[in-house]
A and B are shown apart, each in its own frame.
Chain A
Protein backbone atom coordinates (compact mmCIF):
# COMPACT_ATOMS: atom_id res chain seq x y z
CA UNK A 1 0.00 0.00 0.00
CA UNK A 2 1.29 3.44 -0.83
CA UNK A 3 2.20 5.09 2.42
CA UNK A 4 1.19 8.71 2.36
CA UNK A 5 2.09 9.22 5.99
CA UNK A 6 5.20 11.17 5.25
CA UNK A 7 3.24 13.57 3.19
CA UNK A 8 2.09 16.78 4.72
CA UNK A 9 -1.39 15.27 4.71
CA UNK A 10 -0.70 13.22 7.76
CA UNK A 11 1.41 15.91 9.39
CA UNK A 12 -1.34 18.47 9.16
CA UNK A 13 -3.90 16.56 11.16
CA UNK A 14 -3.77 18.95 14.06
CA UNK A 15 -4.47 21.81 11.71
CA UNK A 16 -7.26 19.86 10.05
CA UNK A 17 -9.10 19.60 13.31
CA UNK A 18 -9.45 23.32 13.57
CA UNK A 19 -12.28 23.97 11.10
CA UNK A 20 -11.18 27.56 10.68
CA UNK A 21 -7.71 26.38 9.71
CA UNK A 22 -8.81 24.03 6.93
CA UNK A 23 -8.60 25.21 3.40
CA UNK A 24 -11.81 24.32 1.56
CA UNK A 25 -11.91 23.94 -2.22
CA UNK A 26 -14.44 22.08 -4.37
CA UNK A 27 -13.05 18.91 -5.92
CA UNK A 28 -14.46 20.06 -9.27
CA UNK A 29 -11.88 22.87 -9.29
CA UNK A 30 -9.13 20.28 -9.34
CA UNK A 31 -10.75 18.66 -12.34
CA UNK A 32 -10.94 22.02 -14.11
CA UNK A 33 -7.22 22.65 -13.60
CA UNK A 34 -6.23 19.11 -14.45
CA UNK A 35 -8.14 18.91 -17.69
CA UNK A 36 -6.54 22.11 -19.01
CA UNK A 37 -3.08 20.78 -18.19
CA UNK A 38 -3.92 17.45 -19.83
CA UNK A 39 -5.17 19.27 -22.92
CA UNK A 40 -1.99 21.33 -23.18
CA UNK A 41 0.21 18.24 -22.81
CA UNK A 42 -1.69 16.25 -25.40
CA UNK A 43 -3.52 18.11 -28.14
CA UNK A 44 -5.65 15.01 -28.78
CA UNK A 45 -7.29 15.56 -25.41
CA UNK A 46 -10.68 17.16 -26.04
CA UNK A 47 -13.36 18.36 -23.66
CA UNK A 48 -17.03 17.81 -24.49
CA UNK A 49 -19.71 19.42 -22.40
CA UNK A 50 -23.51 19.12 -22.23
CA UNK A 51 -24.68 22.63 -21.29
CA UNK A 52 -22.90 22.70 -17.92
CA UNK A 53 -19.52 24.23 -18.71
CA UNK A 54 -19.33 26.47 -15.64
CA UNK A 55 -20.55 24.04 -13.00
CA UNK A 56 -18.45 21.13 -14.28
CA UNK A 57 -15.48 23.53 -14.46
CA UNK A 58 -14.87 22.95 -18.17
CA UNK A 59 -15.24 26.68 -18.80
CA UNK A 60 -11.53 27.28 -18.23
CA UNK A 61 -10.69 24.64 -20.82
CA UNK A 62 -13.07 26.27 -23.29
CA UNK A 63 -11.30 29.58 -22.80
CA UNK A 64 -7.75 28.19 -22.81
CA UNK A 65 -8.13 25.61 -25.59
CA UNK A 66 -11.15 26.60 -27.69
CA UNK A 67 -10.11 24.38 -30.61
CA UNK A 68 -10.23 21.32 -28.38
CA UNK A 69 -13.60 22.14 -26.83
CA UNK A 70 -17.02 20.95 -28.00
CA UNK A 71 -20.47 21.97 -26.71
CA UNK A 72 -23.35 19.60 -27.50
CA UNK A 73 -26.26 20.85 -25.39
CA UNK A 74 -28.51 18.75 -23.19
CA UNK A 75 -27.78 15.32 -24.71
CA UNK A 76 -25.94 13.03 -22.34
CA UNK A 77 -26.40 9.86 -24.36
CA UNK A 78 -24.96 11.66 -27.36
CA UNK A 79 -22.13 12.83 -25.13
CA UNK A 80 -20.95 9.28 -24.53
CA UNK A 81 -21.59 7.74 -27.93
CA UNK A 82 -20.09 10.66 -29.82
CA UNK A 83 -17.03 10.64 -27.55
CA UNK A 84 -16.61 6.92 -28.19
CA UNK A 85 -16.62 7.65 -31.92
CA UNK A 86 -14.04 10.40 -31.53
CA UNK A 87 -11.88 8.14 -29.36
CA UNK A 88 -11.96 5.49 -32.09
CA UNK A 89 -10.58 8.18 -34.37
CA UNK A 90 -7.67 8.96 -32.05
CA UNK A 91 -9.02 11.61 -29.69
CA UNK A 92 -8.94 11.43 -25.89
CA UNK A 93 -12.33 12.86 -24.89
CA UNK A 94 -13.20 14.05 -21.39
CA UNK A 95 -16.98 14.28 -21.18
CA UNK A 96 -18.60 16.31 -18.43
CA UNK A 97 -22.04 16.72 -16.92
CA UNK A 98 -23.62 15.99 -13.56
CA UNK A 99 -22.94 12.44 -12.40
CA UNK A 100 -26.70 11.90 -12.26
CA UNK A 101 -26.86 12.17 -16.05
CA UNK A 102 -23.31 11.24 -16.99
CA UNK A 103 -23.10 8.27 -16.44
CA UNK A 104 -26.57 8.08 -14.84
CA UNK A 105 -28.64 8.65 -17.96
CA UNK A 106 -26.22 7.11 -20.42
CA UNK A 107 -25.46 3.76 -18.78
CA UNK A 108 -26.02 1.47 -21.73
CA UNK A 109 -24.08 3.78 -24.05
CA UNK A 110 -21.25 3.67 -21.52
CA UNK A 111 -21.36 -0.10 -21.38
CA UNK A 112 -21.48 -0.69 -25.12
CA UNK A 113 -19.73 2.22 -26.80
CA UNK A 114 -17.09 2.87 -24.13
CA UNK A 115 -16.44 -0.36 -22.29
CA UNK A 116 -17.31 -3.19 -24.67
CA UNK A 117 -15.78 -1.11 -27.46
CA UNK A 118 -12.72 -0.43 -25.30
CA UNK A 119 -12.58 3.23 -26.28
CA UNK A 120 -10.44 5.77 -24.51
CA UNK A 121 -13.18 8.01 -23.07
CA UNK A 122 -13.04 9.69 -19.65
CA UNK A 123 -16.34 10.43 -17.93
CA UNK A 124 -16.22 13.37 -15.52
CA UNK A 125 -19.21 13.05 -13.18
CA UNK A 126 -19.76 16.33 -11.34
CA UNK A 127 -22.07 17.18 -8.41
CA UNK A 128 -22.01 13.63 -7.07
CA UNK A 129 -23.48 12.75 -3.70
CA UNK A 130 -26.15 14.25 -1.45
CA UNK A 131 -23.82 17.18 -0.83
CA UNK A 132 -25.16 18.83 -3.99
CA UNK A 133 -27.77 19.96 -1.46
CA UNK A 134 -30.91 22.00 -2.23
CA UNK A 135 -31.36 20.67 -5.80
CA UNK A 136 -32.74 17.54 -4.14
CA UNK A 137 -32.99 13.82 -4.89
CA UNK A 138 -33.24 14.12 -8.67
CA UNK A 139 -29.77 15.64 -8.81
CA UNK A 140 -28.03 13.64 -6.07
CA UNK A 141 -26.06 10.82 -7.72
CA UNK A 142 -25.60 8.12 -5.09
CA UNK A 143 -25.76 5.03 -7.28
CA UNK A 144 -23.11 5.99 -9.83
CA UNK A 145 -20.21 4.03 -8.33
CA UNK A 146 -22.35 0.89 -8.30
CA UNK A 147 -23.39 1.16 -11.94
CA UNK A 148 -19.85 1.91 -13.09
CA UNK A 149 -17.89 -0.57 -11.04
CA UNK A 150 -19.91 -3.52 -12.40
CA UNK A 151 -18.81 -2.83 -16.00
CA UNK A 152 -15.78 -4.77 -17.28
CA UNK A 153 -12.73 -2.70 -18.36
CA UNK A 154 -13.97 0.38 -16.50
CA UNK A 155 -11.63 2.27 -14.18
CA UNK A 156 -13.45 4.11 -11.38
CA UNK A 157 -11.72 6.89 -9.45
CA UNK A 158 -13.10 8.89 -6.52
CA UNK A 159 -10.48 11.40 -5.35
CA UNK A 160 -10.59 12.81 -1.84
CA UNK A 161 -9.93 16.54 -2.40
CA UNK A 162 -9.26 19.14 -5.07
CA UNK A 163 -5.51 18.52 -5.27
CA UNK A 164 -6.03 14.80 -5.64
CA UNK A 165 -8.76 15.38 -8.24
CA UNK A 166 -6.27 17.29 -10.34
CA UNK A 167 -3.70 14.51 -9.98
CA UNK A 168 -6.31 11.91 -10.87
CA UNK A 169 -7.43 13.86 -13.93
CA UNK A 170 -3.86 13.95 -15.23
CA UNK A 171 -3.34 10.27 -14.40
CA UNK A 172 -6.44 9.10 -16.26
CA UNK A 173 -5.55 11.29 -19.23
CA UNK A 174 -2.23 9.47 -19.44
CA UNK A 175 -3.67 5.96 -19.33
CA UNK A 176 -5.48 4.19 -22.15
CA UNK A 177 -9.03 2.96 -21.49
CA UNK A 178 -12.50 3.94 -20.28
CA UNK A 179 -12.64 5.81 -16.97
CA UNK A 180 -15.24 7.16 -14.58
CA UNK A 181 -13.93 10.05 -12.48
CA UNK A 182 -16.30 11.26 -9.75
CA UNK A 183 -16.25 14.60 -7.94
CA UNK A 184 -18.49 16.97 -6.01
CA UNK A 185 -19.93 20.45 -6.00
CA UNK A 186 -19.30 21.89 -2.55
CA UNK A 187 -16.16 23.29 -1.07
CA UNK A 188 -14.57 20.48 0.92
CA UNK A 189 -11.41 20.28 3.06
CA UNK A 190 -8.09 19.95 1.28
CA UNK A 191 -6.30 17.15 3.12
CA UNK A 192 -3.46 16.39 0.69
CA UNK A 193 -0.66 18.62 -0.58
CA UNK A 194 1.21 18.88 -3.84
CA UNK A 195 3.75 16.47 -2.28
CA UNK A 196 1.25 13.73 -1.44
CA UNK A 197 1.93 10.78 -3.73
CA UNK A 198 -0.82 9.57 -6.04
CA UNK A 199 -0.90 6.44 -8.12
CA UNK A 200 -3.99 4.96 -9.77
CA UNK A 201 -4.89 1.63 -8.19
CA UNK A 202 -2.82 2.22 -5.05
CA UNK A 203 -4.67 2.85 -1.81
CA UNK A 204 -2.99 5.23 0.63
CA UNK A 205 -2.64 5.18 4.41
CA UNK A 206 -3.48 8.63 5.75
CA UNK A 207 -3.32 7.60 9.39
CA UNK A 208 -1.76 4.64 11.20
CA UNK A 209 -3.71 2.50 13.68
CA UNK A 210 -4.19 -1.13 14.66
CA UNK A 211 -7.77 -1.27 15.99
CA UNK A 212 -10.02 -0.63 13.00
CA UNK A 213 -9.27 0.07 9.34
CA UNK A 214 -11.45 2.91 8.08
CA UNK A 215 -11.51 2.63 4.29
CA UNK A 216 -12.77 5.77 2.57
CA UNK A 217 -13.28 7.15 -0.91
CA UNK A 218 -14.03 10.75 -1.76
CA UNK A 219 -14.67 13.86 0.27
CA UNK A 220 -15.72 12.03 3.45
CA UNK A 221 -12.01 11.44 4.12
CA UNK A 222 -12.06 14.56 6.28
CA UNK A 223 -14.91 13.29 8.46
CA UNK A 224 -13.07 9.98 8.79
CA UNK A 225 -9.86 11.67 9.91
CA UNK A 226 -11.75 13.76 12.47
CA UNK A 227 -13.55 10.66 13.77
CA UNK A 228 -10.21 8.85 14.08
CA UNK A 229 -8.73 11.67 16.18
CA UNK A 230 -11.72 11.68 18.50
CA UNK A 231 -11.62 7.90 18.90
CA UNK A 232 -7.90 8.06 19.68
CA UNK A 233 -8.77 10.01 22.83
CA UNK A 234 -10.67 6.91 23.95
CA UNK A 235 -7.78 4.68 23.06
CA UNK A 236 -9.19 3.40 19.77
CA UNK A 237 -6.59 3.79 17.04
CA UNK A 238 -7.92 3.79 13.49
CA UNK A 239 -5.96 3.17 10.36
CA UNK A 240 -7.44 5.55 7.77
CA UNK A 241 -7.10 4.36 4.18
CA UNK A 242 -7.80 6.65 1.25
CA UNK A 243 -9.13 4.14 -1.27
CA UNK A 244 -9.46 6.48 -4.25
CA UNK A 245 -9.40 3.84 -6.97
CA UNK A 246 -12.62 1.90 -6.56
CA UNK A 247 -11.86 -0.15 -9.66
CA UNK A 248 -9.51 -1.90 -10.07
CA UNK A 249 -9.32 -1.88 -6.27
CA UNK A 250 -6.03 -2.33 -4.43
CA UNK A 251 -6.98 -5.78 -3.11
CA UNK A 252 -3.63 -6.36 -1.45
CA UNK A 253 -3.98 -3.16 0.55
CA UNK A 254 -7.51 -4.04 1.65
CA UNK A 255 -6.51 -7.51 2.80
CA UNK A 256 -3.44 -6.16 4.64
CA UNK A 257 -5.50 -3.50 6.39
CA UNK A 258 -8.06 -6.12 7.47
CA UNK A 259 -5.28 -8.38 8.72
CA UNK A 260 -3.60 -5.59 10.64
CA UNK A 261 -6.78 -4.35 12.33
CA UNK A 262 -9.22 -7.26 12.40
CA UNK A 263 -12.19 -4.98 11.69
CA UNK A 264 -13.13 -2.62 8.89
CA UNK A 265 -15.41 0.39 8.40
CA UNK A 266 -16.08 1.61 4.86
CA UNK A 267 -17.09 5.22 4.21
CA UNK A 268 -18.50 6.72 1.02
CA UNK A 269 -21.02 9.35 -0.08
CA UNK A 270 -23.04 6.76 -1.98
CA UNK A 271 -25.59 4.01 -1.46
CA UNK A 272 -24.21 1.28 0.77
CA UNK A 273 -25.62 -1.26 -1.68
CA UNK A 274 -23.21 -1.74 -4.53
CA UNK A 275 -20.63 0.91 -3.76
CA UNK A 276 -16.98 0.97 -2.75
CA UNK A 277 -17.78 -0.74 0.57
CA UNK A 278 -19.52 -3.58 -1.23
CA UNK A 279 -16.36 -4.20 -3.22
CA UNK A 280 -14.31 -4.24 0.00
CA UNK A 281 -16.79 -6.80 1.37
CA UNK A 282 -16.49 -8.94 -1.76
CA UNK A 283 -12.71 -8.98 -1.44
CA UNK A 284 -12.66 -9.73 2.26
CA UNK A 285 -15.44 -12.33 2.17
CA UNK A 286 -13.30 -14.27 -0.26
CA UNK A 287 -9.80 -13.64 1.03
CA UNK A 288 -10.02 -12.73 4.69
CA UNK A 289 -13.44 -12.75 6.36
CA UNK A 290 -13.55 -9.73 8.67
CA UNK A 291 -16.31 -7.82 10.49
CA UNK A 292 -17.28 -4.77 8.40
CA UNK A 293 -19.51 -1.79 9.12
CA UNK A 294 -20.73 0.35 6.24
CA UNK A 295 -21.12 4.12 6.30
CA UNK A 296 -23.14 5.52 3.40
CA UNK A 297 -26.74 6.11 2.35
CA UNK A 298 -28.90 3.23 3.55
CA UNK A 299 -31.14 2.38 0.59
CA UNK A 300 -32.91 5.75 0.49
CA UNK A 301 -33.14 8.70 -1.84
CA UNK A 302 -31.75 12.08 -0.84
CA UNK A 303 -33.73 15.30 -0.58
CA UNK A 304 -33.32 19.08 -0.57
CA UNK A 305 -31.34 20.59 2.27
CA UNK A 306 -28.09 22.16 3.25
CA UNK A 307 -25.14 19.90 2.24
CA UNK A 308 -23.76 19.53 5.78
CA UNK A 309 -27.25 18.91 7.13
CA UNK A 310 -27.78 16.14 4.58
CA UNK A 311 -24.43 14.48 5.30
CA UNK A 312 -25.47 14.33 8.97
CA UNK A 313 -29.03 13.23 8.24
CA UNK A 314 -27.96 10.35 6.05
CA UNK A 315 -25.43 9.13 8.61
CA UNK A 316 -22.14 10.17 7.04
CA UNK A 317 -20.92 12.77 9.53
CA UNK A 318 -17.90 12.19 11.75
CA UNK A 319 -20.06 11.09 14.68
CA UNK A 320 -21.74 8.44 12.52
CA UNK A 321 -18.30 7.20 11.48
CA UNK A 322 -17.24 7.12 15.13
CA UNK A 323 -20.29 5.04 16.01
CA UNK A 324 -19.58 2.64 13.14
CA UNK A 325 -16.01 2.20 14.38
CA UNK A 326 -17.26 1.40 17.88
CA UNK A 327 -19.66 -1.19 16.45
CA UNK A 328 -16.81 -2.70 14.45
CA UNK A 329 -14.58 -2.88 17.53
CA UNK A 330 -17.34 -4.63 19.45
CA UNK A 331 -17.59 -7.29 16.76
CA UNK A 332 -13.89 -8.20 16.81
Chain B
Protein backbone atom coordinates (compact mmCIF):
# COMPACT_ATOMS: atom_id res chain seq x y z
CA UNK B 1 0.00 0.00 0.00
CA UNK B 2 1.14 3.51 -0.70
CA UNK B 3 1.77 6.02 2.02
CA UNK B 4 -1.23 8.11 1.00
CA UNK B 5 -4.04 8.60 3.49
CA UNK B 6 -7.55 8.46 1.99
CA UNK B 7 -7.84 12.20 2.47
CA UNK B 8 -4.54 12.88 0.72
CA UNK B 9 -5.57 10.58 -2.12
CA UNK B 10 -8.74 12.61 -2.64
CA UNK B 11 -6.72 15.82 -2.57
CA UNK B 12 -4.42 14.48 -5.27
CA UNK B 13 -7.37 13.36 -7.38
CA UNK B 14 -8.85 16.84 -7.12
CA UNK B 15 -5.48 18.30 -8.04
CA UNK B 16 -5.27 16.08 -11.13
CA UNK B 17 -8.76 17.25 -12.03
CA UNK B 18 -7.50 20.86 -11.87
CA UNK B 19 -4.52 19.97 -14.00
CA UNK B 20 -6.90 18.58 -16.64
CA UNK B 21 -8.97 21.76 -16.51
CA UNK B 22 -5.77 23.75 -17.09
CA UNK B 23 -4.91 21.56 -20.07
CA UNK B 24 -8.30 22.07 -21.72
CA UNK B 25 -8.34 25.81 -21.09
CA UNK B 26 -4.82 26.35 -22.40
CA UNK B 27 -5.38 24.24 -25.51
CA UNK B 28 -8.60 26.08 -26.27
CA UNK B 29 -6.83 29.43 -25.92
CA UNK B 30 -3.93 28.26 -28.09
CA UNK B 31 -6.08 26.88 -30.91
CA UNK B 32 -3.47 24.22 -31.65
CA UNK B 33 -1.57 21.56 -29.73
CA UNK B 34 -1.95 18.06 -28.32
CA UNK B 35 -4.82 16.74 -26.18
CA UNK B 36 -4.63 12.97 -25.69
CA UNK B 37 -1.16 12.60 -24.15
CA UNK B 38 -1.40 15.56 -21.75
CA UNK B 39 -4.77 14.36 -20.40
CA UNK B 40 -3.57 10.80 -19.90
CA UNK B 41 -0.50 11.95 -17.95
CA UNK B 42 -2.31 14.34 -15.58
CA UNK B 43 -2.34 11.78 -12.77
CA UNK B 44 1.36 10.98 -13.14
CA UNK B 45 2.37 14.66 -13.20
CA UNK B 46 0.19 15.35 -10.18
CA UNK B 47 1.92 12.64 -8.17
CA UNK B 48 5.34 13.76 -9.35
CA UNK B 49 4.92 17.44 -8.51
CA UNK B 50 2.75 17.07 -5.39
CA UNK B 51 4.17 13.95 -3.79
CA UNK B 52 7.46 12.70 -5.22
CA UNK B 53 9.70 15.56 -6.27
CA UNK B 54 12.04 17.27 -3.87
CA UNK B 55 11.68 20.78 -5.29
CA UNK B 56 10.93 24.43 -4.53
CA UNK B 57 8.42 26.00 -6.90
CA UNK B 58 9.41 29.49 -5.76
CA UNK B 59 13.10 28.70 -6.23
CA UNK B 60 12.86 26.65 -9.43
CA UNK B 61 16.60 26.37 -10.03
CA UNK B 62 17.46 25.33 -6.46
CA UNK B 63 20.69 23.32 -6.83
CA UNK B 64 19.55 20.19 -5.05
CA UNK B 65 16.17 19.82 -6.74
CA UNK B 66 15.19 16.53 -8.28
CA UNK B 67 15.32 16.84 -12.06
CA UNK B 68 12.10 16.10 -13.93
CA UNK B 69 12.57 15.81 -17.68
CA UNK B 70 9.76 15.64 -20.20
CA UNK B 71 11.21 13.83 -23.18
CA UNK B 72 8.04 13.81 -25.29
CA UNK B 73 7.78 17.61 -25.39
CA UNK B 74 4.50 17.67 -27.30
CA UNK B 75 2.60 16.83 -24.09
CA UNK B 76 3.92 20.07 -22.53
CA UNK B 77 0.41 21.32 -21.60
CA UNK B 78 0.25 18.75 -18.77
CA UNK B 79 3.59 19.84 -17.41
CA UNK B 80 2.73 23.52 -17.68
CA UNK B 81 -0.61 22.96 -15.98
CA UNK B 82 0.94 20.88 -13.20
CA UNK B 83 3.56 23.57 -12.69
CA UNK B 84 0.96 26.33 -12.58
CA UNK B 85 -1.24 24.47 -10.09
CA UNK B 86 1.91 23.52 -8.19
CA UNK B 87 2.83 27.15 -7.60
CA UNK B 88 5.51 27.80 -10.22
CA UNK B 89 3.61 30.56 -12.01
CA UNK B 90 0.11 32.08 -12.14
CA UNK B 91 -2.59 29.77 -13.47
CA UNK B 92 -3.78 32.43 -15.92
CA UNK B 93 -0.38 32.33 -17.65
CA UNK B 94 -1.54 28.97 -19.05
CA UNK B 95 -3.66 30.96 -21.50
CA UNK B 96 -0.49 32.24 -23.22
CA UNK B 97 0.34 28.71 -24.40
CA UNK B 98 1.87 28.72 -27.92
CA UNK B 99 1.41 32.48 -28.34
CA UNK B 100 4.08 34.90 -29.51
CA UNK B 101 6.44 35.88 -26.70
CA UNK B 102 5.23 33.26 -24.21
CA UNK B 103 7.38 31.23 -21.84
CA UNK B 104 5.03 28.36 -22.57
CA UNK B 105 6.34 27.47 -26.01
CA UNK B 106 4.57 24.85 -28.11
CA UNK B 107 7.41 22.55 -27.11
CA UNK B 108 9.18 23.34 -23.83
CA UNK B 109 12.37 25.40 -23.82
CA UNK B 110 14.85 25.22 -21.00
CA UNK B 111 16.12 28.76 -21.36
CA UNK B 112 12.65 30.28 -21.34
CA UNK B 113 11.04 28.42 -18.45
CA UNK B 114 13.23 27.53 -15.47
CA UNK B 115 13.09 23.94 -14.22
CA UNK B 116 11.81 22.32 -17.38
CA UNK B 117 15.44 21.11 -17.44
CA UNK B 118 15.65 20.34 -21.17
CA UNK B 119 14.28 21.62 -24.44
CA UNK B 120 12.22 18.86 -25.99
CA UNK B 121 9.80 18.06 -28.78
CA UNK B 122 12.12 16.23 -31.11
CA UNK B 123 11.41 12.75 -29.75
CA UNK B 124 13.83 10.32 -28.19
CA UNK B 125 16.35 12.72 -26.65
CA UNK B 126 15.19 12.94 -23.04
CA UNK B 127 16.54 9.72 -21.59
CA UNK B 128 20.00 10.43 -23.01
CA UNK B 129 20.09 13.83 -21.29
CA UNK B 130 18.64 12.36 -18.11
CA UNK B 131 21.36 9.71 -18.16
CA UNK B 132 23.94 12.46 -18.42
CA UNK B 133 22.44 14.33 -15.46
CA UNK B 134 22.21 11.19 -13.33
CA UNK B 135 25.81 10.27 -14.13
CA UNK B 136 26.99 13.78 -13.26
CA UNK B 137 25.09 13.59 -9.94
CA UNK B 138 26.84 10.30 -9.14
CA UNK B 139 30.25 11.75 -10.00
CA UNK B 140 29.64 14.62 -7.59
CA UNK B 141 28.05 12.49 -4.87
CA UNK B 142 24.75 14.39 -5.09
CA UNK B 143 21.57 12.88 -3.73
CA UNK B 144 19.05 14.41 -6.13
CA UNK B 145 17.28 12.10 -8.53
CA UNK B 146 16.41 12.24 -12.20
CA UNK B 147 12.92 11.39 -13.48
CA UNK B 148 12.35 11.16 -17.23
CA UNK B 149 8.84 11.04 -18.65
CA UNK B 150 8.84 9.45 -22.08
CA UNK B 151 6.13 8.40 -24.53
CA UNK B 152 5.76 4.92 -25.96
CA UNK B 153 6.36 5.92 -29.60
CA UNK B 154 9.68 7.46 -28.54
CA UNK B 155 10.85 3.91 -28.11
CA UNK B 156 11.06 3.73 -31.89
CA UNK B 157 14.00 6.16 -31.77
CA UNK B 158 17.47 4.63 -31.73
CA UNK B 159 18.94 7.18 -29.31
CA UNK B 160 16.50 6.18 -26.60
CA UNK B 161 18.00 2.67 -26.56
CA UNK B 162 21.54 4.00 -26.64
CA UNK B 163 20.62 5.80 -23.43
CA UNK B 164 18.98 2.70 -21.97
CA UNK B 165 22.19 0.73 -22.50
CA UNK B 166 24.35 3.50 -21.06
CA UNK B 167 22.26 4.03 -17.92
CA UNK B 168 22.51 0.31 -17.16
CA UNK B 169 26.27 0.29 -17.71
CA UNK B 170 26.70 3.03 -15.10
CA UNK B 171 24.18 1.45 -12.70
CA UNK B 172 22.22 4.68 -12.44
CA UNK B 173 19.84 3.88 -9.60
CA UNK B 174 19.22 7.62 -9.29
CA UNK B 175 17.41 7.52 -12.64
CA UNK B 176 13.75 6.54 -13.06
CA UNK B 177 12.06 6.53 -16.46
CA UNK B 178 8.27 6.74 -16.64
CA UNK B 179 6.66 5.59 -19.89
CA UNK B 180 3.30 6.90 -21.01
CA UNK B 181 2.12 3.57 -22.41
CA UNK B 182 -1.05 4.72 -24.12
CA UNK B 183 -0.61 2.60 -27.27
CA UNK B 184 -1.18 5.53 -29.61
CA UNK B 185 0.93 7.63 -31.91
CA UNK B 186 0.11 9.93 -34.83
CA UNK B 187 -0.54 7.35 -37.54
CA UNK B 188 -2.52 4.99 -35.29
CA UNK B 189 -1.85 2.25 -32.75
CA UNK B 190 1.82 1.78 -31.84
CA UNK B 191 1.42 -1.92 -32.52
CA UNK B 192 0.32 -1.24 -36.11
CA UNK B 193 2.79 1.56 -36.86
CA UNK B 194 5.86 -0.14 -35.35
CA UNK B 195 5.21 -2.84 -32.78
CA UNK B 196 6.78 -2.23 -29.37
CA UNK B 197 5.74 -5.41 -27.59
CA UNK B 198 7.10 -7.25 -25.69
CA UNK B 199 7.80 -3.85 -24.17
CA UNK B 200 8.76 -4.69 -20.59
CA UNK B 201 11.03 -7.51 -21.77
CA UNK B 202 13.04 -5.07 -23.82
CA UNK B 203 13.93 -3.09 -20.69
CA UNK B 204 14.66 -6.28 -18.76
CA UNK B 205 17.04 -7.36 -21.52
CA UNK B 206 18.79 -4.00 -21.11
CA UNK B 207 19.29 -4.72 -17.38
CA UNK B 208 16.73 -2.30 -16.02
CA UNK B 209 14.37 -2.92 -13.10
CA UNK B 210 10.88 -2.93 -14.57
CA UNK B 211 7.60 -1.91 -12.92
CA UNK B 212 4.18 -1.80 -14.52
CA UNK B 213 1.11 -0.05 -13.20
CA UNK B 214 -2.08 1.77 -14.07
CA UNK B 215 -0.88 5.29 -14.81
CA UNK B 216 -4.35 6.69 -14.23
CA UNK B 217 -4.60 5.20 -10.74
CA UNK B 218 -2.97 7.70 -8.38
CA UNK B 219 -2.63 5.28 -5.47
CA UNK B 220 -1.11 2.56 -7.63
CA UNK B 221 1.31 4.87 -9.38
CA UNK B 222 2.41 6.40 -6.06
CA UNK B 223 3.04 2.99 -4.58
CA UNK B 224 5.00 1.93 -7.66
CA UNK B 225 7.26 4.96 -7.75
CA UNK B 226 7.98 4.59 -4.05
CA UNK B 227 9.15 1.03 -4.74
CA UNK B 228 11.25 2.16 -7.69
CA UNK B 229 13.06 4.63 -5.46
CA UNK B 230 14.36 1.77 -3.32
CA UNK B 231 16.01 -0.09 -6.21
CA UNK B 232 19.80 -0.26 -5.90
CA UNK B 233 22.45 -0.79 -8.55
CA UNK B 234 20.37 -0.23 -11.67
CA UNK B 235 17.99 2.23 -13.30
CA UNK B 236 14.23 1.66 -13.08
CA UNK B 237 11.42 2.10 -15.54
CA UNK B 238 7.76 2.41 -14.70
CA UNK B 239 5.52 1.43 -17.56
CA UNK B 240 2.46 3.51 -16.79
CA UNK B 241 -0.51 2.12 -18.69
CA UNK B 242 -2.75 5.04 -19.52
CA UNK B 243 -5.90 5.75 -21.47
CA UNK B 244 -5.27 8.44 -24.09
CA UNK B 245 -7.50 11.45 -23.51
CA UNK B 246 -8.29 10.26 -19.95
CA UNK B 247 -11.01 12.29 -18.26
CA UNK B 248 -12.77 13.51 -21.39
CA UNK B 249 -15.18 10.84 -22.61
CA UNK B 250 -15.16 11.62 -26.32
CA UNK B 251 -11.35 11.66 -26.45
CA UNK B 252 -10.67 8.51 -24.45
CA UNK B 253 -8.96 5.83 -26.50
CA UNK B 254 -9.11 7.77 -29.76
CA UNK B 255 -5.69 8.30 -31.39
CA UNK B 256 -6.98 11.11 -33.59
CA UNK B 257 -6.83 13.35 -30.50
CA UNK B 258 -3.05 13.03 -30.39
CA UNK B 259 -2.37 16.34 -32.06
CA UNK B 260 -5.44 18.56 -32.04
CA UNK B 261 -7.06 20.87 -29.49
CA UNK B 262 -10.75 20.93 -28.59
CA UNK B 263 -12.86 23.68 -30.17
CA UNK B 264 -15.14 25.85 -28.02
CA UNK B 265 -18.08 23.43 -27.89
CA UNK B 266 -15.83 20.44 -27.30
CA UNK B 267 -13.98 22.29 -24.56
CA UNK B 268 -17.27 23.18 -22.88
CA UNK B 269 -18.28 19.52 -22.83
CA UNK B 270 -14.86 18.55 -21.47
CA UNK B 271 -15.00 21.16 -18.71
CA UNK B 272 -18.53 20.08 -17.74
CA UNK B 273 -17.39 16.47 -17.48
CA UNK B 274 -14.42 17.47 -15.35
CA UNK B 275 -16.69 19.55 -13.11
CA UNK B 276 -19.02 16.57 -12.64
CA UNK B 277 -16.03 14.40 -11.70
CA UNK B 278 -14.97 17.07 -9.23
CA UNK B 279 -18.37 17.03 -7.58
CA UNK B 280 -18.29 13.25 -7.36
CA UNK B 281 -14.86 13.36 -5.71
CA UNK B 282 -15.88 16.01 -3.22
CA UNK B 283 -19.08 14.19 -2.31
CA UNK B 284 -17.30 10.86 -1.77
CA UNK B 285 -14.09 12.23 -0.28
Residues of A within 8 A of B (CB): 49, 51-55, 71-75, 77-78, 100-101, 105, 133-139, 303-306, 309-310, 313
Q: A74-B156, A75-B194, A305-B99 known; A105 and B105 CB under 8 Å?
A: no
Q: Which residues of B contact A135 (CB under 8 A)?
A: 32, 98, 106-107, 121
B109 and A137: CB pair below 8 A?
Answer: yes
A136 and B186: CB pair below 8 A?
Answer: no
Interface contacts (Cβ under 8 Å), in number, total 95
Give, as a whole number of angstroms, the nearest-CB distance from A194 to chain B.
Answer: 32
Q: Which residues of A contact B119 (CB under 8 A)?
A: 137-138
Give, as a whole number of angstroms, the nearest-CB distance from A96 to chain B.
Answer: 12
Q: Mark B262-280, 1 if CB is under 8 A from A, else 0.
A: 0000000000000000000
The size class of the interface chain B forms with chain A is: 20 to 34
Residues of B within 8 A of A (CB): 30-33, 73, 98-102, 105-107, 109, 119-124, 153-154, 156-158, 185-187, 190, 193-194
Give the nearest-CB partner of A75 in chain B: B156
Give, as a whole number of angstroms, the nearest-CB distance from B23 to chain A.
Answer: 16
A-B contact pairs, 15 of them (CB 8 A): A51-B153, A51-B185, A51-B193, A53-B187, A71-B193, A73-B156, A74-B124, A74-B153, A74-B156, A134-B31, A136-B121, A138-B107, A138-B120, A304-B98, A310-B100
Compute how far the CA of A269 lies from the CA of B96 in the bound complex, rounded to whole angstroms.
Answer: 26
Extra pairs beyond A51-B193, A134-B32 (18, CB < 8 Å): A51-B153, A55-B186, A73-B185, A74-B123, A74-B153, A74-B157, A74-B194, A75-B158, A78-B158, A101-B122, A133-B32, A134-B30, A134-B106, A135-B106, A135-B121, A138-B73, A304-B105, A304-B106
Compute how far the CA of A133 lies from the CA of B102 in the bound complex, rounded to whole angstroms.
Answer: 13
Compute how far the CA of A71 lies from the CA of B157 in the bound complex, rounded to whole angstroms.
Answer: 14
A54 and B186: CB pair below 8 A?
Answer: yes
A136 and B98: CB pair below 8 A?
Answer: yes
Give the nearest-CB partner of A313 in chain B: B100
Q: A136-B107, A139-B107 known; A74 and B121 CB under 8 Å?
A: no
Give the nearest-CB partner of A309 in chain B: B100
Q: Which residues of A contact B154 (CB under 8 A)?
A: 74
Which of A74, A134, A137 is within 8 Å of B185, CB to CB? A74
A137 and B105: CB pair below 8 A?
Answer: yes
Closest CB pairs A-B (n = 10): A73-B194, A305-B100, A138-B121, A134-B98, A73-B156, A136-B106, A136-B105, A74-B156, A138-B107, A135-B106
